[in-house]
Amino acid sequence: MNNSEIVELAHRNLVDIYGCLPIAFERGQGAYLFDADGNRYLDFFCGLAVTSLGHGHPRVVHAIKEQAEKLTHVSNVFHTEPTARLAERLASRFGGGRVFFGNSGAEANEAAIKLARRWGHKDGGGRFEIIAALGSFHGRTLATLSATGQEKYHQGFQPLVPGFRLMPFDDVAALDRAVRDETVAVMVEPIQGEGGVVMPHPDYLNRLRDFCDRRKMLLILDEIQVGMGRTGKFFAFQHSGIKPDIVTLAKALGGGLPIGAMIAKSEIAAAFTPGSHGTTFGGNPVACAAALSVIDVIDREAVLENATKVGAHILERLRTIAKECPHVIEVRGLGMIIGVVLKGDPRPLVDVCLKEKLIVNGTAGNVLRLLPPLNLKREEADAGLAIIERALKTVEVSR
């Protein structure tokens, strides 16, 4: 099928929720995607921070093929080696703990929310309330939506799940005033991704950690977008030197296969007992084998170092370009998550980049967001930057 045939077929049959662009991709290689008509695109989006090692990384492909040939599924009442090994790798990266596997970011967060409630009931004096941040995004299930601090996602879905309250991001003083007897946990993203690449003060996580320790509350970090090396460290919280009680991962974990993980300190994870939570596909051996290969590649191919170096280059170059673009308010980011904050809607810029065969994305109404592969080469970064520079200097950004 050619590009327009696929687009037309999809339009007629899929539930219309994604506002899809009229492009159907057929294959990918490294930082490039190819559509069904053979056009090549440079991918600075990575399927929304998922294909962080680029497309078709040979080690990831090999791991998926090898496991698919051996075994694709057993029930969670049995064990498989990839699942056990991945749990061990993630728990040890976390500095000791226990792991629950789901199939998406929302499921990882749902597990974190349920674990916090269960711990609150059992060890936390009956507390259940979770405070999340304005501007946050935690997923589309009803509980994760209720923790999401953006009203546009709530519309038409009320009543939301009770037991959540929203406070300003990066404001521990406001949190201090907000905590009530029933508050059991604080849940935040180390950098708000969907919220517009919002970077808190460098002390924020340390202050949150102190605060939660003093109040005997759990600190839950949602690293679904910024974990797995996106900021240049395996976990974003490693920039602060703290350890949360619970962290969630998904997106880049499976190298393109669906998997989410919740990692919790062992004493907190103990609140989940047999039968209290679960999911049929969680810990799927093919997805776990893919995730193990992703971690191997991160370690063996100096991926974090590259994300730090090339990310800093992109940030610096964009800041220089921004000086000549009065409609750019700020360029911010860390590693390979970068936001260009504009005076208006980023969509015309996204469209122009797409015409020039570069995939970027707009978020939060006025932010052009770049999520390139962590192993992007400097020449590829420069090729993308040249397109962004042309777009920023020629496209009218309207308020």
Ligand X SMILES: Cc1ncc(COP(=O)(O)O)c(C=O)c1O
- What's the CA gap between 348 and 8, in Å, rounded? 23
| Nearer to ligand X among residue 193 and residue 196 (C-beta) | 193
Minimum separation from the CB atom of position 164 to ligand X (A): 15
Site track 128-157 with ligand X (rule: CB under 6 A), x = hit:
---------xxx------------------
Residues within window 248-287 making contact with ligand X, judged by CB under 6 A: 250
Residues whose CB is less than 8 angstroms from the CB of residue 293 and which lie 6 or more positions away in sequence, other chains included: 57, 59, 60, 62, 63, 64, 255
Q: Can 281 be counted among the known catalytic residues?
A: no
Alpha-carbon distances, residue 58 vs 28, 96, 164, 262, 293 (angstroms): 12, 30, 43, 27, 10
**Closest approach of ligand X to the CB of residue 361, in Å:** 11
* DSSP 8-state code for residue 277: S
CB closer to ligand X, 371 vs 381? 371
In sequence order, which ranges of 155-257 are alpha helices (DSSP H)? 172-178, 204-215
Torsion region of 365: left, alpha or beta (phi above 0 gives left; psi -120 to 50 gives alpha): left
Phi, psi of 246 (to 5 degrees): -140, 135
Q: Active-site residue 222, yes or no?
A: yes
Asked if residue 263 lies in contact with residue 245, where contact means CB atoms within 8 angstroms, the answer is no
Using the Cα atoms of residue 173, residue 178, residue 180 and residue 184 in order, give the sign of their dihedral: negative
Q: Which of 244, 126, 141, 105 is nearest to 182 (CA)?
A: 126
With respect to ligand X, which residue has the nearer C-beta, 109 or 284? 109
Selected binder of ligand X within 54, 97, 120, 193 (CB under 6 A)? 193
Between CA 262 and CA 284 the distance in angstroms is 15
Q: Residue 144 Cβ, how far from ligand X at the closest point, in Å?
A: 7
Q: Which of 164, 237, 251, 272 is catalytic?
A: 251
Min dist CB 133 to ligand X, Å, is: 11
Q: x/- binding map, residues 173-192, to ligand X, per CB under 6 A?
A: ----------------x---
Q: Which is nearer to ligand X, 90 or 387 (CB)?
A: 90
Give the separation between CA 353 and CA 153, rounded to whole angstroms: 27
Contact pattern from residue 82 through residue 121 relative to ligand X, giving x for each residue in contact according to CB under 6 A and a dash for the rest? ----------------------xxx--x------------
Q: Which is nearer to ligand X, 106 or 208 (CB)?
A: 106
Which of 314, 286, 287, 283 lies closest to 50, judged by CA?
287
- Which residues, 6+ apart, have CB-to-CB distance to 191 below 8 Å? 197, 198, 199, 200, 225, 226, 231, 236, 334, 337
Total residues interacting with ligand X, rule: CB under 6 A: 15
The answer to the question of residue 225 lying near ligand X (CB under 6 A) is yes
- Residue sitting closest to ligand X (CB): 105
Which member of 170, 222, 235, 272 is catalytic?
A: 222
- Is residue 70 annotated as a catalytic residue, yes or no? no
Question: Which of 137, 235, 237, 272 is the catalytic position?
Answer: 137
Residues annotated as catalytic (active site), given as ranges: 137, 222, 251
* Binding positions for ligand X, rule: CB under 6 A: 48, 104-106, 109, 137-139, 189, 193-194, 222, 224-225, 250
